[in-house]
Amino acid sequence: MAKYMLIMRAGAEAEQAFAESGMDFDEMLTTMGRYNDELIEAGVLVSAEGLDDASKGVVVDYSTEEPTVTDGPYGEAKELFNGYWILQVPTMDDAVAWAKRAPLAGPGMKAEIRRVPSIDEFPSDNEYVRRERAWRERTGQL
């Protein structure tokens, strides 16, 4: 089984549609909760988190020798990363099938899906890979 990250991104169109829908926070939690329950019952959910409003975040820009920190929201972004799920499923097709069922999707919303490589895919002769593997074993992640 492989892990896949479903990254939820929303553009201005999606944010406007959500604002116009009149959906309150409790209704949004219930809708997302039902989907998360499906993922749990199917045995594919590894983790999931939503993110705070972008205006409460910061950006660390590494373009200069000394990294620059600026307050959010992110100036040039047309879409914001709003949350994610990590699923453990056999194939990318399975991850896509789950993404197609995601609630609150519509115009301006996108899900980016990326495979999460296993620690076993990295060179085992690297000291830091060995250290991370030991840490994962100690913390029950392997």
61-106 confidence digits (pLDDT tens): 888 999 988 887 665 666 678 889 999 999 999 999 999 999 877 7
pLDDT of residue 142: 83
Domain locations along the chain = 2-112
**C-alpha neighbours within 13 Å on the C-beta side of residue 25:** 2
User: pTM of the entire structure?
Assistant: 0.79
End-to-end CA distance of the chain: 13
Residue range 2-112 forms a domain whose CATH class is: alpha beta
